[in-house]
Structure 1
Amino acid sequence: MVDPKPSNEPKVDVKPSRLRIRAVEKKIDGCGTHD
């Protein structure tokens, strides 16, 4: 029961982390890379 617990924690942390990076990239793409 200790294996599935830590496996779910990083999985949920990586999902929001990727969405956050995408939002930051989109902001930079529309605020700095907008030729």
Structure 2
Amino acid sequence: RIRKNIWKKKGYWAALKAFSLAKSLSTGNSKSFLYKN
């Protein structure tokens, strides 16, 4: 169960980063994404 939770968290953060990247690209604000990342 613990390992599954870790993978779920990793997947969540990966999705969150992907969402932030897509959002920054759509707004043309990729510099702020690189800064945050």
Question: Equivalents in 1 of 2:4, 2:17: separation in Å?
Answer: 20
Q: Point out 4+ residue stretches in structure 1 off by more than 6 angstroms.
A: none
2:24 matched to which residue of 1? Answer: 27
Identify the structure with bigger relative contact order (alpha carbons < 8 Å, sequence gap 6+).
Answer: 2
Deviation at 1:6, TM superposition (A): 1.4
How high is the TM-score relative to the length of structure 1?
Answer: 0.70
Flag structure 2 segments of 5+ consecutive residues without an equivalent.
30-37
Percent identity of paired positions between Structure 1 and Structure 2: 14
Flag structure 1 segments of 5+ consecutive residues without an equivalent.
none
Instruction: Name the structure with the higher helix share.
Output: 2
CA-based RMSD: 1.5
Deviation at 1:9, TM superposition (A): 1.0
Q: Which has the larger radius of gyration?
A: 1
How high is the TM-score relative to the length of structure 2?
Answer: 0.67
